[in-house]
Amino acid sequence: MTLVDEGHPDARPVKVWTLQQLDPAAVVPGRVPAKAVEWQRVGDNKAELSAELYERVGRAWDWVDRAYWTNADWAEWANRDTHHLFLGCVDGEICGYVELDQQGPDVEVAFFGLLADFIGQGLGGWLLSEGLREAWLLPEVARVWVHTCELDAPTALSNYQARGLVITGTEIEWRLPPLPKG
């Protein structure tokens, strides 16, 4: 859904939550998945993979904020020293990802999600807790935070809270419905 100003014709209100953690001890591990999951940090080709995962994971949730980014935009985003990309893999196939954006002493969980074939298999809590653990391992971190909204997966907010993140703010954004697919 496209972000617009309030009052735009056809815009609908979308509730957005900001959550944070102020202590690494607050991370609540997700249950260990039934399937063996390999956790890996991506060092090379982050831009291409970041763009691909944004599209593949976001497709189900109408992520459009970066849908029109060019390869140069993705490279500028992902090739920074403060950008960190992690993958969860099951049987050699990517099941989900976490992107962290270090902003001084704050680390944003910029993107987190599962690929469609892996939703509902008990992987999300574990992947998120691994991502939070990685965030707290970065230098001089004082706060880890994330935004989520009612357009994300129905379990997104509860997963963030179950992993120890606390709601610090709620606001309304105005968005246009997605264009019909096909």
Task: Show me where the domains of the chain are located.
Answer: 2-26+36-176
Q: Give the residue among 103, 67, 59 at the shortest CA–CA distance from 84.
A: 103
CA dihedral 62, 67, 73, 78 (to 10 degrees): 30
Q: Give the residue among 121, 99, 98 at the shortest CA–CA distance from 32.
A: 121
Range 2-26+36-176 classified under CATH 3.40.630.30 = yes
Contact (Cβ atoms closer than 8 angstroms) between residue 97 and residue 88: yes
What token pair was written down for 177?
Answer: 């419905």
Give SS3 for 79.
Answer: coil
- Residue 163 has a CB neighbour count (10 Å cut-off) of 24
pLDDT digits (tens, 9 = 90+) for 67-103: 889 999 999 999 999 999 999 999 999 999 999 999 9
pLDDT digits (tens, 9 = 90+) for 173-182: 887 766 555 5
pLDDT digits (tens, 9 = 90+) for 4-56: 677 778 788 889 999 999 999 999 999 888 889 999 999 988 999 999 999 99
